[in-house]
Structure 1
Amino acid sequence: MRDGGRGRLRRSPAPDPHRADPDRTRRARRGPGVALRALEQLDGPGTEADGEEARRLLDAAFETDAGPPGPPVIVAVGTDGDHLATGKALSLALVSLNESGVPGLSGHRLLVEEDRCLLFLPPGVPLDALLGGLAERLPDELEAAGRHPAARLAVHVGSTGGSGAEEAQSGPDVRLTAAMLGSSEFRALCENFPFHPVLCVSPEAFGRLGPRDGAGLVAGRFVPREVTWTDGRVVCVVLAPHLDLSVYDTELLMLARLFNDLDPDGRAMAAAVRESLDAVLDPEGTGRYDAVGLDDREKALIGPRLELALRRLFPAAPPFRLRLSLGGARGWASSSRAEHGDICLVVRVHDAHARWSAGLLRIRPETAVAPVRRDAASPLAAEAWSAVLWLRRGAPLPENVLLRLSEADRAAVLAPGSAVDRTAELFRRVRGRPVPEAALRAVTRRRDGARLVREAAAVLRGEGVLVVGGNRRGRELAGALRIPVPDADAYVSVRLTRRRPHHDGPSVLAGGVAWVVAGPGDPAEPLPQDLPPPRRPR
């Protein structure tokens, strides 16, 4: 985004929202406009065959009216360390948009790379619908995959350089899109929106968007900010989310401040979520570890338990209602009845990814729809999500270790008939990761499994596997070996071996010998007795 250091970038103020560019207005009336108007006429009550015929006619109208094919659309999405999860989330968002009637998506190509996902779309895809749809649905899919929902996207229209993966990545237009995504200026702007997606759009792509609406928004939801050279040339346009601060009234903001002041890192609320889930699962009594197996009556019990726990944690909080969603769906596993004017605490839990989110919402006529039954809670309207004041989004949840194991590992852990053997098998297979005591209950079938952990650790010593607890000595050993340091209510296992010439990692001294974290090729050696057993803090 810099031209050999010859110019400095500056961000110009947003253009006058009431002045529409006539050229862009004319462009907006071409193919995409006709296609979307056709969809409005064709999409209505009828048979499934009628719907399919409507889609076919829509695609035909779109292709016919779009004129000669132009350059394809290139979208780069930052992966933030997990390219596979981001690629899956992007694919699911595209499937959802395609099913909702956005034309031109069936011909897309997706390349998943280590630091970004590259999406190539046909020339005729309507950018307003595409970008607005991705901004709405991609955060939910990222959150459901255990990733941070504040997606970063760069958008350009240009040549892809060829059909192969290497040719596509080496083309100048693709490299430009990647450069926009990775620019320091764009990253700095994204930090101002920790819970919302932000887009960096080239002037060519911005020219294909429709005119601003009466509020000055692009695609009905973005505030455009031009990034220019010192000579006034536009380098790119950053599309930031439009946040309607008028929906955050004084009482709601004061409640948000209370939650953040009393629980600044969210750990207390996360623990309450975990305890409420486990109380209904009852792992020590039933062996259950997955909320998917709960029936509707049991799921309905989680919300009231969580609401009660939160009122105990925050006794000074003004009254609020709870909306709890499991698995990331916008349907509700548990909802307390809320009237217009009430404050709702919206909680979404993704136990399979050990993530959770919470936000505050004032119930207004436009944020709720009529309930199915008179005594049921009013479902939230789609517009409600833009009015949520997020406290946490995609925050860590105490891990449900058994749920997150592969099918083979989980079967191996649960197979032994002895609780000690099951616990030992868990620590054999889950090494270098904290295992909370709560996650052990479905394995030990006991509320307090500290004694079983010590017995299992004694068995594992002969295999060279050390289990450390959250007491002072255990935390010191974990820090010295540079493995995750367990909390007071957690354990971590690691396999050790005697230091040899090829080892270069940290070591601890025990039995007169230096011990290091073992690699795959190192032999199993019994541990000396002066390495302590796992214990909890006193």
Structure 2
Amino acid sequence: MDNLSDSDAALTAVAEQLRQIDPDGTRWAAVLRKTYDMIYNGQETGRYRWDQLMKTEKTHFGTLFEINAQRVFEFDGGIETDYRIAGHQVDAKWSQADGGWMLPPEVFDKLALVATGSDAESTWSLGLIRVTSDVRREKRNRDKKSQLTAEGRKAIRWLWRDAPLRPNVLLQLPRETVDHIFDSRYGTERTNRLFRAAEGMIVNRNAVATVSRQLDAQKRVRYNGGARSALQPDGYLILSGVYHRDLAAALGVPVPLADEYVSVRVVPTDGSDSIELEGRRWRQVRPGEPVIEPAPKLPTS
């Protein structure tokens, strides 16, 4: 079967418009990250995994995805579909399972913007398909929804396929480690455990809020009683994407964005592969190397 999307002028126009407004897909990736974080509602619930959601919440993910995309890209509203893009009717469809999109009659013969992703694998995909009778199969249910056939899934024009999603550190750590983090009854201690366990890994502010479950979650990171103070005696710096990106780059750890942190243990050094803080040179600790001095204090501006 030929890829039917190749000869669809409207689909091509929509694809070109989507590429034009987000050439590298970072804005779509941000929509997916935000939607996952909203549906977990970690600060209030402590949840961070898809399997912790109720069935109704999983169903609601697609609606949140549609709304968040509309807020970011400001698409015109469609008549029977969610959006009008490049002058054409386009309906947004999400499925956590790749290929599992449910297609109602109102999208038949129209364009569908199909999306899927995996928070555990930190990937997402987004493509376009015209939902013709050649690519869909009927479902025997009351609302007459269809799904794409195997050939229909092959006909999707993927704009981004298995693109990187900003990672959820709580899904990257071993489950037993995360269980230990949550085992404490105190939000401050849970935050300390997070930054110990996630040394050298990007930690998003949402992960901090999920772990601390307190209103001023970011206060649990700062000095004056937060994780920076608690972990300083063991040589930890907790670098902020607002103030310390240059320090992270110089130390050779992942460079955090504005809403991210990264923790790193340091020791004094005379070498050039180092940073200067409080009048001394410091470098990242090497595997198995003991930390014998507290970390220096970070500048906050």
Interval of TM-score (by shorter of Structure 1 and Structure 2): 0.7 to 0.9
SS at 1:369 equivalent: strand
**Map of 1:400 onto structure 2:** 168
Residue 313, structure 1, aligned to residue 81, structure 2: no
The residue number in structure 1 matching 2:288 is 521
Determine helix, strand or coil for the equivalent of 1:352. Answer: coil
1:143-222 map, 5 Å? none
Task: Report 1:467-486 matches (<5 A).
Answer: 467-471=238-242, 473-486=243-256
Contact 2:123 2:163 in 1 (8 A): yes
Letter in 2 for 1:460: L
Paired with 2:232 and 2:183, the residues of 1 have a C-alpha distance of 21
CA distance in 2, matches of 1:396, 1:505: 33
Structure 1 contact 252–343 (Cα < 8 Å) conserved: yes
Amino acid at match of 1:244: N
Q: Which residue in the other structure is 2:279 paired with?
A: 512
SS in 2 for 1:360: strand
Structure 1 residues without counterparts, runs of 5 or longer: 1-220, 222-242
Structure 1 equivalent of residue 39 of structure 2: 280
> Structure 2: how far apart are the matches of 1:335 and 1:350?
21
Whole-angstrom CA distance in 2 between matches of 1:258 and 1:265:
13
The residue type equivalent to 1:496 in the other structure is: V
Secondary structure of 1:330 counterpart: coil
**Counterpart position of 1:330:** 99
Q: Report the equivalent of 1:389.
A: 157
Q: Could you tell me the TM-score, scaled by structure 1's length?
A: 0.50
Aligned equivalents of 2:7, 2:217: Cα separation in 1: 45
CA pair 425-274 structure 1, distance change in 2 beyond 3 A: same
Please state if 1:497 is matched with 2:267. yes
Inter-partner Cα distance in structure 2 for 1:330 and 1:441: 33
Please list the CA deviations of residues 182-235 of structure 1 after superposition, one character each: whole Å capped at 9, or x if unmatched. Answer: xxxxxxxxxxxxxxxxxxxxxxxxxxxxxxxxxxxxxxx8xxxxxxxxxxxxxx
2:236 pairs with 1:465: yes
Secondary structure, in 3 states, of the residue corresponding to 2:244? helix
Give the equivalent residue in structure 2 for 1:254: 13
The 5-angstrom pairing of residues 72-91 of structure 1 reads none
CA distance in 1, matches of 2:251, 2:104: 48
- The residue aligned with 1:290 is 49
Deviations 1:438-470 (A, max 9, x none): 232321224652211211122111110101111
Q: Secondary structure at the match of 1:391?
A: strand
CA distance 1:397–1:246, shift in 2 (3 Å)? closer
Distance 1:354 1:280, change over 3 A: same
Aligned with 1:299 (options 58, 64, 67): 58
- 2:78 is matched with none
Change in CA separation of 1:313 and 1:353 when aligned onto 2, cut-off 3 Å: same
Partners of 1:287 and 1:246 in 2: how far apart?
Answer: 43
Residue aligning to 1:60: none
Q: 1:247 to 1:528 in 2, by over 3 A?
A: closer
CA pair 338-452 structure 1, distance change in 2 beyond 3 A: farther
Map Cα deviations across residues 146-165 of structure 1 (whole Å, 9 max, x no partner): xxxxxxxxxxxxxxxxxxxx
Number of aligned residue pairs: give it.
Answer: 286
Deviation at 1:322, TM superposition (A): 2.4
- SS for the counterpart of 2:137 is coil
What residue is the counterpart of 1:214 in the other structure? Answer: none
2: CA distance between counterparts of 1:390 and 1:368? 17
CA distance in 1 between counterparts of 2:157 and 2:127 reads 5
Q: Distance in 2 between matches of 1:528 and 1:262?
A: 44
Partners of 2:233 and 2:144 in 1: CA distance: 58
Q: Which amino acid aligns with 1:441?
A: A
Which residue of the partner structure matches residue 452 of structure 1? 220
Partner of 2:137: 369
**What secondary structure sits across from 1:486 in the alignment?**
coil
Partner residue in 2 for 1:210? none
Deviation of residue 263 (structure 1)? 1.4
> Is the counterpart of residue 420 in structure 1 residue 188 in structure 2?
yes
How far residue 369 of structure 1 moved from its aligned partner, in angstroms, is: 1.0
* Residues 341-366 of structure 1: CA deviation (Å, up to 9, x unaligned): 11111111111111111111110101
SS of equivalent residue, structure 1 residue 522:
coil
| Matched letter for residue 281 of structure 1 | Y
Distance 1:425 1:376 in 2: 50
Letter in 2 for 1:302: F
SS of residue matched to 1:310: helix
Instruction: State the Cα distance separating 1:338 from its structure 2 match.
Output: 4.3
Question: Tell me, which stretches of 5 or more residues in structure 2 are unaligned?
Answer: 76-84
For 1:338 and 1:414, the matched residues in 2 are separated by 45
Per-residue CA deviation, residues 227-250 of structure 1 (Å, 9 max, x unaligned), is xxxxxxxxxxxxxxxx63654412
Change (3 A) 1:419 1:319: farther
Query: How many Å separate the matches in 1 of 2:89 and 2:107?
Result: 12
Residues in 2 aligned to 1:521 and 1:293: alpha-carbon distance in whole angstroms: 36
Q: Which has the higher contact order (CA 8 A, sep 6+)?
A: 2
Superposed displacement of residue 368, structure 1: 0.9
Distance 1:484 1:276, change over 3 A: same
CA gap of 1:310–1:507, structure 2 versus 1, over 3 A, is: same
